Amino acid sequence: MNTVLPSPTEIANRYLRAWNEIDPQRRLALVREAFADGATYVDPMAEVAGHDGISALIAGVQQHYPGAHFTLHGEPQGHHDRVRFSWALTVNGVAAPVAHGTDVAVLAGDDRLQSVTGFLDQAAAA
C-alpha cells in the first residue's frame, strides 16, 4: 500500500466517474484507472470480474436506466485498505433518485479497487 493514500472521496469519485461514462472506450479506460487487474464487483443483482466484466455491467445499468447518473450521498469513509461510500442514482426527468446504495471496497496495493461489494439501500421497481 502506498504511504500516502488518496482520500476516500477521491477513490469514490474515481469509481463513480467510470459508472457515469457512457462512451464505451472512455468507460473502459476509466474502469482500468479505478479498478485493479482482476478486480471483482458483486451486489444483490450481479457478480462480475475483470475490467471487461465491470465495464459491461456498467453498460447494462446505463441501458436499463437511460440518462442515469450516480452521485455521492454523504461523506465517504476509509481506513486501512477499505473504503465505504453511499451513492444515489438519478435519471434525467425523474425528481427522486431511483436507487440508493452503499458500496464497500478493498484497495489493491496500487490504490485501485481490488473488490467492491455493493448493497442496495433502496431501489425503485423495475
Q: Is the dihedral of CA 15, 125, 43, 51 positive or negative?
A: negative
- CATH of 8-123 among 1.10.3720.10, 3.50.30.60, 3.10.450.50, 3.40.50.2000: 3.10.450.50
E strand or H helix at 12? helix 8-20
Q: Could you tell me the residue ranges of all domains in the chain?
A: 8-123
Report, as ranges of residue numbers, the positions in the chain whose pLDDT lies below 70. Answer: 1-5, 124-126
- pLDDT given at position 16: 98
Residue 21 · residue 48 · CB < 8 Å: no
**How confident is the model over 41-62, as pLDDT tens digits?**
999 999 999 999 999 999 999 9
- pLDDT value of residue 2: 45
- Cβ contact 70:87 at 8 Å: yes
pLDDT of residue 1: 45
